[in-house]
């Protein structure tokens, strides 16, 4: 278990068929070739893994229905079957408890989204290109993985595509090499990353570096920020994302140093229902541009996820309110900082909205059906506001910053958070957390103590 990981992983009740808790992955190295016309993906995935506390006579990876060329374990052929999204592998010799081992999977096929109650998840073929939107279980649509949010690993992604296309993936661009009519893009995300937060965008994009016009006096290194978008959308983008560099500085002042090496935004040449979060990246649709900063709350929301959800990750999907509550409250904080509605006004509006909706959501364990319900986001934001009211300004923001620092690149549960928050006040917080997380009835609107 990582020293940053506060709680050992357990089976995810929402997605019990995803992931294999008998081992963990340390690193993924994906060498892929993608042809947009026929939507053809092929390549090799190499995984560096560590067995758990028991010997492994066999283990499983999550993978959609690709054609498998070969499977090697420590360089030797392994017996395998691929059925119902599970690539089950039996090595030539059982792996010892605690042993490091490598798995290599060669595969080809036509990637398509994983079916779910929220529609297709994962690799999505666009009119001219592709993107990946995997939350929560779409990662197996394009690469073999141990698909559970608590199993975080580093990634090296080498992706070859026809040269007219730009390829964007997580992390730092190491090399870009053109041979004949194809270009290979190599990215590395060294920070531990959950499988659903790995992404790729393939399209015809202009590259824009976001420059800080008036850097704020925060004692952190500048964060390289890059945007990729269709050239015709540059004027609207400049208006809609013009305050993102200021937003980065503000969030660093609240949450601590940005946890990754860079931040990228992609404006894909399609409309998207919602933006797509990924590690060190976010993808927006053309409908999120308009030249009036009409979607700036979403810009704030996705940026805040880099601290809460991506660096500090949940052990399983039952705790999703932690990701979304922090990100929703970050929207309200940015609004207040930028001269819009105050966080208190946003909290009042959210409370009024929730009061008129069904009272059947248990925030601390919403169930698979309601885990992306808008009420979870609003109620999660209200939990943060309630804590701010109870703790007071200075203890609350110190609590938030230290939460992000202590669990940087780690894995947490709601119990970890409630225990952490309790350290910043002499008042018992159990009644607050019971009312907001365990009860379905909406508690009263939080009000700051005198």
pLDDT tens, residue by residue, 260-277:
999 999 999 999 999 999
Domain boundary among 306, 338, 353: 306
Terminal C-alpha separation, the chain = 43
> The domain that contains 241 carries what CATH number?
1.10.390.10
Contacts of 247 (CB under 8 A, 6+ apart): 299, 300, 303, 334
- pLDDT at residue 140, as a whole number: 98
Residues 146 and 231 in one domain: no
Residue 30 has pLDDT above 90, yes or no: yes
- Residue 213 pLDDT class (50, 70, 90 cuts): low
Please give the DSSP secondary-structure letter assigned to residue 385: H
Residue 364 lies in a domain: yes
Selection from 149, 257, 270, 258 nearest residue 198 by Cα:
149
Q: How far is C-alpha 30 from the chain's CA centre?
A: 19
Residue 7 lies in a domain: no
Its domain, for residue 37, covers 23-201
E strand spans, 166-302: 166-169, 172-179, 182-193, 200-203, 206-209, 225-229, 263-267, 276-278, 281-284
Residue 215 has pLDDT above 70, yes or no: no
Residues 284 and 371 in one domain: no
- Cα separations in angstroms, 333 against 12, 79, 253, 421: 32, 53, 12, 19
Q: How far apart are CA 432 and CA 123, in angstroms?
A: 40
Residue 272 lies in a domain: yes
45-54 pLDDT, tens digit per residue, is 999 999 999 9
Residue 436 has pLDDT above 70, yes or no: yes
> The domain that contains 133 carries what CATH number?
2.60.40.1730
Residues 42 and 188 in one domain: yes
Residue 297 has pLDDT above 60, yes or no: yes
Q: Count, in order, helices (H) and strands (E) of the chain.
A: 9, 22
Domain boundary among 250, 275, 306: 306
pLDDT > 90: what percent of the chain? 93
* Token output for 371: 């885990």
Bridge pairing between strands 182-193 and 225-229: unpaired
Q: How far apart are CA 446 and CA 392, in angstroms?
A: 12
Bridge pairing between strands 166-169 and 200-203: antiparallel
Residues 302 and 322 in one domain: no
Residues 120 and 150 in one domain: yes
Residues 386 and 331 in one domain: yes
- pLDDT at residue 219, as a whole number: 65
DSSP string, 36-79: TTTTEEEEEEEEEEEE-SS-BS-EEEE--SPEEEEEEETTEE-E
Higher pLDDT pick, 147 / 217: 147
Residue 216 has pLDDT above 60, yes or no: no
Domain count, the chain: 3
Evaluate whether 280 touches 259 at the Cβ level (below 8 Å): no
- Residue 212 pLDDT class (50, 70, 90 cuts): confident
Residues 287 and 415 in one domain: no
Residues 321 and 411 in one domain: yes
Residue 16 lies in a domain: no
Selection from 205, 314, 359 nearest residue 267 by Cα:
205
Residue 243 lies in a domain: yes
Residue 6 has pLDDT above 50, yes or no: no
Residues 74 and 150 in one domain: yes
Edge-to-edge strands of the sheet including 129-133?
A: 122-126, 129-133, 200-203, 166-169
Residues 325 and 415 in one domain: yes
Domain boundary among 182, 201, 220: 201
The torsion angle over the Cα atoms of residues 261, 258, 26 and 324, rounded to 10 degrees, is -130
366-425 pLDDT, tens digit per residue, is 999 999 999 999 999 999 999 999 999 999 999 999 999 999 999 999 999 999 999 999
> What does R_g of the chain's alpha carbons equal in angstroms?
22
Contacts of 11 (CB under 8 A, 6+ apart): 21, 316
139-198 pLDDT, tens digit per residue, is 999 999 999 999 999 999 999 999 999 999 999 999 999 999 999 999 999 999 999 999
Residue 108 lies in a domain: yes
Selection from 334, 270, 275 nearest residue 302 by Cα:
275
Helix runs in 392-441, H state only: 393-406, 414-422, 430-433
Helix runs in 166-233, H state only: none
- Which residues partner with 103 through β-bridges? 47, 73
Higher pLDDT pick, 221 / 348: 348
Q: How far apart are CA 366 and CA 318, in angstroms?
A: 7
Per-residue pLDDT, averaged over 89-108, amounts to 98
Q: C-alpha angle 147/153/156, rounded to 5°? A: 105
Q: How far apart are CA 376 and CA 247, in angstroms?
A: 24
Q: How far apart are CA 47 and CA 105, in angstroms?
A: 9
Residue 445 lies in a domain: no
Q: C-alpha angle 109/111/115, rounded to 5°? A: 130
- pLDDT at residue 211, as a whole number: 84
Residues 54 and 186 in one domain: yes
- pLDDT at residue 10, as a whole number: 57
Residues 160 and 295 in one domain: no
- pLDDT at residue 203, as a whole number: 98
Edge-to-edge strands of the sheet including 206-209?
A: 206-209, 225-229, 263-267, 281-284, 276-278
Evaluate whether 230 touches 266 at the Cβ level (below 8 Å): no
Per-residue pLDDT, averaged over 114-134, amounts to 96
Residue 3 lies in a domain: no
Q: How far apart are CA 114 and CA 136, in angstroms?
A: 10
- pLDDT at residue 448, as a whole number: 83
- Residue 220 pLDDT class (50, 70, 90 cuts): low
């Amino acid at each position: 278990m990582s020293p940053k990981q506060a709680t050992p992983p357990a089976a995810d009740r929402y997605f019990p068929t995803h992931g294999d808790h008998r081992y963990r992955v340390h690193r993924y190295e994906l060498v892929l070739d993608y042809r947009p016309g026929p939507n053809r993906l092929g390549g090799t995935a190499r995984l560096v893994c560590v067995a758990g506390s028991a010997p492994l006579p066999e283990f499983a990876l999550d993978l959609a229905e690709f054609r498998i060329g070969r499977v090697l374990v420590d360089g030797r052929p392994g017996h395998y079957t691929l059925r119902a999204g599970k690539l089950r592998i039996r090595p030539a010799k059982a792996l010892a408890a605690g042993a490091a081992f490598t798995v290599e999977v060669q595969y080809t096929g036509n990637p398509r989204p994983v079916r779910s109650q929220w529609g297709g998840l994962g690799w999505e073929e666009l009119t001219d290109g592709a993107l990946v939107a995997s939350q929560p279980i779409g990662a197996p649509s394009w690469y073999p993985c141990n698909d559970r949010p608590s199993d975080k690993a580093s990634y090296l992604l080498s992706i070859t595509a026809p040269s007219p296309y730009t390829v964007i993936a997580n992390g730092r661009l190491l090399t870009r090499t053109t041979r004949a009519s194809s270009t290979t893009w190599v990215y590395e995300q060294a920070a531990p990353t959950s499988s659903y937060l790995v992404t790729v965008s393939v399209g015809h994009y202009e590259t824009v570096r976001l420059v800080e016009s008036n850097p704020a006096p925060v004692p952190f290194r500048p964060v390289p920020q890059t945007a990729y978008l269709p050239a015709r959308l540059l004027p609207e983008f400049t208006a809609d994302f013009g305050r993102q560099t200021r937003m980065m500085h503000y969030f660093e002042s609240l949450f601590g140093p940005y946890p990754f090496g860079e931040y990228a935004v992609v404006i894909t040449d399609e409309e998207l229902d919602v933006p797509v979060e990924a590690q060190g990246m976010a993808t927006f649709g053309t409908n999120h541009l308009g030249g009036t900063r009409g979607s700036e709350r979403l810009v704030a929301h996705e940026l805040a996820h880099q601290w809460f959800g991506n660096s500090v990750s949940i052990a399983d999907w039952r705790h999703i309110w932690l990701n979304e509550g922090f990100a929703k409250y970050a929207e309200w904080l940015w609004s207040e900082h930028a001269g819009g509605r105050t966080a208190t006004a946003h909290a009042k509006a959210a409370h009024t909205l929730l009061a008129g909706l069904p009272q059947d959501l248990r925030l601390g364990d919403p169930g698979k059906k309601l885990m992306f319900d808008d009420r979870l986001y609003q109620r999660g934001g209200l939990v943060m506001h309630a804590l701010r009211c109870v703790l007071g300004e200075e203890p609350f923001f110190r609590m938030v910053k230290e939460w992000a620092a202590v669990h940087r690149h780690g894995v947490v549960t709601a119990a970890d958070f409630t225990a952490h928050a309790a350290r910043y006040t002499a008042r018992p917080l159990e009644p607050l957390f019971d009312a907001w997380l365990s009860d379905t009835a909406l508690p009263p609107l939080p009000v700051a103590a005198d």
